[in-house]
A = this chain, B = another copy of it.
Amino acid sequence: MTQNVRWGILATGAIAKKFAEGLRDARGAELVAVGSRSQDKADAFGKQFNVPHCHGSYEALAADADVDAIYVATPHPQHKPAASLCLEGGKAVLVEKPFTVNAREARELVALARAKKRFCMEAMWTRFIPAIVRVRELVASGAIGEVRMVAADFGFRGGLNPEGRLFNPRLAGGGLLDVGVYCVSFASMILGTPVATTGAAHIGQTGVDEQAGMVLTYEGGKLAVLYTAVRTQTPVEASILGTDGRIRIHNPFFKASKLTITAGGKDETVEIPLRGNGYNYQAEHVGQCLRDGRTESDIMPLDETISIMETMDALRAQWKLRYPME
């Protein structure tokens, strides 16, 4: 595959638009199709982003022979059925985070992708931006010694709309799955799979977690201390703390462009600007994987995605937060 990856986008909400904007800055990628349950919405989206193929059903998008890869941009509970449809249609899929509602769904979706031998990845876009690539390089180089702790937070104050996706249990709402996943995934990227999890959440009036704090334990007593919220604005920063130094990822850590590396008794702050809105990098990574004939990413592997969902399942079980569709 040497030509551009021909992308389709499944669903037309806010995150679909961000990804479409990102594709404008992604090398080796073009947006050729969009699918919605409503032809009007598909057409409106298509007009906004100059998309040639506007499908009035997800099925039609999944069957579009001119599409190589599909970005699944639905609310969480539709990720698995929509991604499955695309895999069945022979497409590569990039599935908006969280990958699925829970680990059971994630395992099933991964099994399908592997059976179909199709590329599949969770769209943890922050992992592909240059500042975070640099963070991984710094950690791997031993710049801060052995990592002992990771801290991260992501919380914002959303308006309390009981029907909206953030607060509606039927849409798998709450802070953990929407923004906490960035923190859990960040900890996973640095420390791997935890051996124990604990935490506490405030389950609000709509029955989802409005704010939560989490402590994850890893081999050798490494720890991740995380917090998240959808009714409380937090600093939105992350720190990696090692035996010989530390790295601070400044606000907003999920779209990082500024790092402070503290080692050898001095602070160095570096700016690593983003090209585009940041969503472009993951699209380029998917393109590289497809050109390389790979069905999984080495940066955001499917087994790690399952592990992240298992961690979030374990936390929700402690909080007795179960969604109606589970």
A residues near B (Cβ < 8 Å) are 148-149, 151, 153, 155, 157, 196, 198-204, 210-217, 220-227, 229, 231-235, 239, 241-243, 245-246, 248, 262
Contacts and interface: CB of A to CB of B under 8 A. Distances in A.
B227 A213 contact: no
How many copies, total? 2
A211 B225 CA distance: 11
A199 B227 contact: no
B157 A211 contact: no
A185 B4 CA distance: 58
A201 to B, nearest CB: 8
**Considering the complex of A and B, which 8 residue pairs feature the smallest CB-CB distances, nearest first?**
A202-B221, A213-B215, A213-B225, A148-B232, A225-B227, A200-B217, A198-B198, A200-B215
B241 A234 contact: yes
Interface centre among A211, A220, A222 (most CB of B within 10 A): A211
B225 A233 contact: no
Contact of A235 (B196, B220, B239): B239
Nearest to A195: B200
A157 B243 contact: yes
B241 A149 contact: no
